[in-house]
Structure 1
């Protein structure tokens, strides 16, 4: 006789089904767990929360359905994290499913619970994944570095030096520094994150404290506005501009190159620059 068939069918004088005393719920097979879960959920709905009977029914449901957590956790073995951690997170999803399940839904509890379990595990990976891709060896070194730092801080009563960490971890000082640098990739912060400033200034965004305005950005805009204006000049005007501002010739040298006087070059250059200046002001 299975655990399930032995448990079902015992009723009290009040007509409610009496829950069986299951010594090892975690050893109940999946098929028996499905049948027993129906019984326990029906009784759970009639019990007052916080009572020993309610706590027993809830805890038994959790232990009986741990196979669902192990099944869901097995889908994430390739992530490289400790399976124990994944199972613990998945158990949170199982508990949420138990607290929200109702027999009136007319669905199997396993069908209802698995999405909760998988969702909790995925949320765990989303919240604990590295913000920047870091080689596996450095990810592992980060964990060891944290342990070594805590141990030495407790032992020495101060922050440990790189040399002390290297000796304890069996690494070179360069490797310790590399692990420290890589640890910065574990979490990222939004540039819009609030930073507490002086009491008079209140809060400011992180972006207010890093970076600086690049004056060359205005030049980029000017070059884009100037390009079509230069294309609209005739060949001689473009040549004069090139000789003056690219080759850096004087007006006299340009005049000799073109066979005209220095005064004529000056008038042509002044007219061209005025035309370009007016065009730039119009496009702003």
Structure 2
């Protein structure tokens, strides 16, 4: 029964708030910052959010996301607004909401920094596409857009390609594989480092270091690590003890370690 009574009182409260004008609501909210009053103010000024959000359609971020950010900006504006200063709320709220939208674009927008002229041209292209589509009753060609904006076709293509980095694409993005059963993922189309480059670098390092060994050290290295001979076999060939071969191995390894450290510095 208590919950029913509370719900009834809340409904009556909301209905009574609808009888207040905006100035009276802000005065009431300054005295009693309740969720009900704030929600009523939000509902009355959501039209500002809608108008401002539509200005950023086709800018690379979903309209729903922009609308949510703008709504948060509206709430910030309501919290900061002082009715006693004599300003119109719409004039106060607009820059606050736009500021939140632009901040969101800075955080979530172009994933790679491109020249400002390309960004500006990209915005103009979006508008030109809409206008030309209505005028020509078909999708505009690059040539049409270039003539409309008085640019070269190369500039239009450059801006259109740059706009692809406005938001990063998921590596799990799939493309149709021309009728094949399995679609192709973006990660499958992206190149990967050629392992041969590492092999070339390693070979150059080995050749350079081996040149610094004396003839006996070279023989020990080649016999032990390339011909897979045992220490005893190498010792017999050199007519030295196995212990001597073992010490020479350690000395050779230390030289390689020293050269590697130099190359990394």
TM-score (norm 2): 0.49
Structure number with higher helix proportion: 2
Structure exhibiting the larger radius of gyration computed from Cα positions: 1
TM-score (norm 1): 0.46
